[in-house]
Structure 1
Amino acid sequence: MTELRIEGLTKSYGGGAAAPPVLDGLDLTVPAGALAAVLGPSGCGKTTMLRIIAGFLRADAGTVTVGGRVLTGPGVYLPPEHRQIGIVPQEGALFPHLSVARNVAFGLTALDRTTRRRRTDEMLELVGLPGYGDRMPHELSGGQQQRIALARALAPSPQLVLLDEPFNALDSTLRTGVRADVRAALQATGATAVLVTHDQQEALSTADVVAVVRDGRVAQCDTPQELYRRPANPWVAAFVGDAVLLPATVEYGTASTALGSVSLATPTAVRRTGTVLLRPEQLHLSETAAARGTVTNVCFYGHDTMVTVAVDGLDTPIDVRVAGPLSVHPGEDTGIRITGEAILHS
């Protein structure tokens, strides 16, 4: 089990000294044995970071260490084949002319034939595909191909496993099951792993820690629960889930908003104005609530319904998440009440 530590990672692409950096002093620590999801919008630098860790790109500055061993740093560049890193790319990328067993055993050339075969069988068992060794990649489903790709990455017992948006090509139903299988396999080996994704749900449901990257830096790194409950700023709050941001007058442990008063998770000692964060599931439609508004839109998702309401005193409509179906229509008047605590920002 090995810790990944990234410090001051910087990288620009062309354009000379004036080119804006893709990575701008990025810092990130992944504890030994943890699965970290790196989450961010397109162009934020997450794939560039992954390629530098793997050794496919050279950084302009900064260091990358795994288990205390420097892979990239001032005057140090270890080639990819010497980094002991397993990689699971998008869509599996199996060798189409090799059987499943030969794909898994691809990185085990230093072992004798008997040991190599035993290790291959162990990996197929680990990813839930025992007996598939003689099949060819084209005979497998997309989810099976991804599990074989993971088995191939884990077979040489790497110090670190990198997963580059490996579930993108799978349909939503299959994706959930394969994610669970991959997480279980990583936990069984105790491997330290980094999952790059742009899918918030995938990051929150799969990882031990989530690093949100913005403009080449980590905006916040925390457990999924803390990241959702206590985002570092309004941008992180809006990117990781749906956010309701309300202007407020704050005094000690209470914030007064257009929807009424709400307790603060962290009280403040001074009276001031600011912005408080709530999640849509903290708002409830209620005929007896003092705060009133007009329903402008209703989106039904099966497991819940998102109701958009224009509220008197607010410049923009707010979203209310209600469990299951709901008999409400645009144009109707409704009341809104708040439950739980709010996070104060700015």
Structure 2
Amino acid sequence: MDTVSGWGRRGTAGTSIASALAFEDVVHGYGPVRALAGISLVVAPGEVLCLLGPSGCGKTTLLRIASGIERPQAGRVLIDSREVAGPSTFVPPERRGIGLVFQDFALFPHLSNLANVMFGLKALPKADAERAARVALSRVGLADHALDYPHTLSGGEQQRVALARAIAPRPSILLMDEPFSGLDSRLRDAIREETLAVMRETRATCIVVTHDPEEAMRMADRIVLMREGRIAQIGTPRDLYQAPADLDTARFFSDVNEVPGVVQGGRLITPVGYFAAPGLAEGAPAVAAIRPQSILPRPAGMCVPGRLVSRRYLGEVELLEIVVQGMEAPLKARVRSAEGLHPGRDIGVDVTASEVLVFAAPAA
């Protein structure tokens, strides 16, 4: 069984001089498929930034272009204002000062863990390279496995060897492509937190690719949400969760009840209440996006009348489904306690109006 309890003491990873990374109108494609449609983005020195989005949105392509694995078809990539990829410039990966951690770890099976970590230290004398590799392995809690081979380790331990290999040269930029997606869910949180601690210690500029919104919110200083090769929204985790730019972004970060209505007098009129609708035209169709935790069951006769049709225990919360007159689909509510609530009974439905997000209705 893998464990992270043996990770080295914090403050021992060694530091880097962080670099700024910039993309200027980057375009790339594969045949007729446009993977990136003009990406412009600046990552500040020492920032941890997550590229977030569904499969095929272009996030891994952008990471590969940053690393130098691929050359953009148009646009420029700059490190500390120095062009490393552009119409007439291309600096190869090994000269960019970048560390890489891939989804499949990409370890050499015929090399020991120590030799895997030393692989990126060829510019150093062998003794110095071994010393630096052992320090990196110690920081991720694998000093005792230096002479073992990757196949003898668990998936979580292999991920830690890959991290040690990436940080050993003290890169100014660290790129990670879905580094935790193959790990057991019971270990993912702990390994992710320790990995983040190492990233903070190295002080490198970090870009992490993920399709998991919660992972992005746990790790990132800023999140770049991508959609179909474009940037849909950039901001802090709080920005994207509390003020999503559109309904699709709201859907991506959490479950939402989508309640249609019509704007009247600056408010969206729906079967479950009236909600502020600034910026939307009078008479326009719109949608209230209501998160399940914003729906509060009340005694029958209070608030909007409804009927509880199902109740499921999920551990820390219970999931309720409530039908309300005028709505085709039942509302989903998440509550800490559903004591006294029974399926088939009438209840009242209250909504925390300040948490409701209102958007123009999607095009048909």
- The two structures share one fold, judged by TM-score above 0.5: yes
Q: Tell me which residue corresponds to 2:247.
A: 234
SS of match in other structure, 1:22: strand
Give 1:278's match in structure 2, choosing from 290, 294, 298. 290
What amino acid is aligned across from residue 185 of structure 2 in structure 1? S
Name the stretch that deviates more: 332-341 or 4-13. Answer: 332-341
TM norm structure 2: 0.85
Q: Deviations over 1:4-60 (max 9, x none)?
A: 22222211211xxxx241211122322221221111112111122222222222222
SS of match in other structure, 2:231: strand
Q: Tell me which residue corresponds to 2:14.
A: none
Given that 1:52 and 1:59 are in contact with CA atoms closer than 8 Å, whether structure 2 keeps it comes out as: yes
Change (3 A) 1:330 1:82: farther
SS of match in other structure, 2:130: helix
- List runs of 5+ in structure 2 lacking aligned partners: 1-17
Q: Tell me which residue corresponds to 2:23.
A: 6
Report the Cα distance in structure 2 between the residues aligned to 1:122 and 1:20, rounded to whole angstroms: 44
Name the stretch that deviates more: 164-173 or 325-334. Answer: 325-334
Q: Deviations over 1:202-237 (max 9, x none)?
A: 122222211111111010111112111110100010
Report the Cα distance in structure 2 between the residues aligned to 1:284 and 1:113, rounded to whole angstroms: 65
Deviation at 1:296, TM superposition (A): 4.4
Q: Deviations over 1:138-178 (max 9, x none)?
A: 22221111111011011112121111111121111111111
Report the Cα distance in structure 2 between the residues aligned to 1:329 and 1:57, rounded to whole angstroms: 58
Given the alignment of the two structures, is residue 129 of structure 1 paired with residue 142 of structure 2, yes or no? yes
Change (3 A) 1:269 1:51: closer
Q: Tell me which residue corresponds to 1:341.
A: 355
Q: How does 1:199-218 map to 2 (within 5 A)?
A: 199-218=212-231
Given the alignment of the two structures, is residue 260 of structure 1 paired with residue 277 of structure 2, yes or no? no
Change (3 A) 1:50 1:298: farther
Change (3 A) 1:33 1:327: farther
Change (3 A) 1:307 1:73: farther
Aligned residues: 339
What amino acid is aligned across from residue 215 of structure 2 in structure 1? E
What amino acid is aligned across from residue 345 of structure 1 in structure 2? F
Name the stretch that deviates more: 91-100 or 185-194. Answer: 91-100
Deviation at 1:270, TM superposition (A): 7.7
Q: Tell me which residue corresponds to 2:321.
A: 308
Q: Deviations over 1:69-107 (max 9, x none)?
A: 222222222222222211111132221222222111111
Deviation at 1:291, TM superposition (A): 1.3
Report the Cα distance in structure 1 between the residues aligned to 2:248 and 2:167, rounded to whole angstroms: 36
Q: Tell me which residue corresponds to 2:3.
A: none
TM norm structure 1: 0.89
Deviation at 1:185, TM superposition (A): 0.5
What amino acid is aligned across from residue 322 of structure 1 in structure 2? V
Given the alignment of the two structures, is residue 155 of structure 1 paired with residue 172 of structure 2, yes or no? no
Q: Tell me which residue corresponds to 2:187.
A: 174
Give 1:223's match in structure 2, choosing from 236, 244, 247. 236
Report the Cα distance in structure 1 between the residues aligned to 2:332 and 2:127, rounded to whole angstroms: 60
Report the Cα distance in structure 2 between the residues aligned to 1:37 and 1:219, rounded to whole angstroms: 13
Q: Tell me which residue corresponds to 1:89.
A: 102
Change (3 A) 1:268 1:159: same
Give 1:46's match in structure 2, choosing from 59, 64, 72. 59
Change (3 A) 1:8 1:131: same
Change (3 A) 1:58 1:302: same
Report the Cα distance in structure 2 between the residues aligned to 1:110 and 1:57, rounded to whole angstroms: 24
Report the Cα distance in structure 1 between the residues aligned to 2:52 and 2:269, rounded to whole angstroms: 33
Q: How does 1:22-171 map to 2 (within 5 A)?
A: 22-171=35-184
Report the Cα distance in structure 1 between the residues aligned to 2:130 and 2:193, rounded to whole angstroms: 26
